[in-house]
Amino acid sequence: MNEDSLVNGVLHSTTVSDQVYTILREKIIDGNLKAGETLVTSQLAEMLNTSRTPLREALKRLEEAGWVERRTNGVVAVTEMSVKELQEIYSVRAVLEGLATFEATSIICDDDLIKIENKLSQYNAIDDASKVSNIIDLGQEIHRMIYQAASNATCLNMLEQILRKLNRYRAYSTSVRGRYRQTLSEHREILRRMRERQAEAAELAMRAHILNASAIVTRHMLNLGLSDKL
């Protein structure tokens, strides 16, 4: 694996570790690496035609982002999921992000609101062929811009801990056909309430948005027979 990658016809210089991270994350999102599956370093290194050093670096990043977990015996595996954990995470997230949105609405500057609007325009340009990972990243940026504007360090720290566990579930939500368009509409409603400085309405819109995602992922997992761990 070399240090150049072709993205949308443009050559970009990246580290091998970055490429390995991206490839493995895509395989997890696509389901080629399944929840609970053990990741054997020697096998991955051979499959990706890379040395173990960049592979270890990529696995560390995946662990920090919540995509994989290191068990007590030192084995690295794709993070497992359950409906119970999903509902707990989203319920807590709805409260925290609702609070952050409430606090941000009264203090966020117009320039930051414009930046969020620009991100929503990028989100609007996404089509059905876009990678789920791209949709996840852009949605995460939009949420982070909102709750960072609240300047509530305790809330921010708690959210960052939750978001480590959220990525796998967010991939399920985003992969549901048409969900990202619904998400765009919900984001626009949140931003509209923030522009109008309606803090309580913005908080309620954020909570509703997150709980909608929770309901969609829960339904998707149950339809697949994933009522317990995958």
Show the domains of the chain with their CATH numbers.
Answer: 4-78 (1.10.10.10), 83-223 (1.20.120.530)
Residue 130: predicted pLDDT: 58
Residue 226: predicted pLDDT: 60
- How far, in Å, CA of 55 to CA of 174, rounded? 27
Distances (CA, A) of 230 to 48, 77, 88, 90: 26, 13, 17, 18
Residue 220: predicted pLDDT: 80
Neighbours of 104 (CB within 10 A): 25
Name residues of the chain where pLDDT drops below 70: 1-14, 127-131, 174-175, 177, 224-230
Residue 1: predicted pLDDT: 55
Angle at 84 between CA 159 and CA 96, to 5 degrees: 20
Residue 224: predicted pLDDT: 67
Partner residues linked to 69 by β-bridges: 77
Residue 7: predicted pLDDT: 43
Please report which helix (H) or strand (E) contains residue 117, including its range. Answer: helix 110-124
Q: Counting beta carbons within 10 angstroms of the beta carbon of residue 84, is it exposed (0 to 12), middle (13 to 18) or buried (19 or more)?
A: exposed
- How far, in Å, CA of 83 to CA of 163, rounded? 16
Residue 143: predicted pLDDT: 94
Rounded to the nearest 5°, which phi and psi values hold at 137?
Answer: -60, -45
Rounded to the nearest 5°, which phi and psi values hold at 136?
Answer: -60, -50
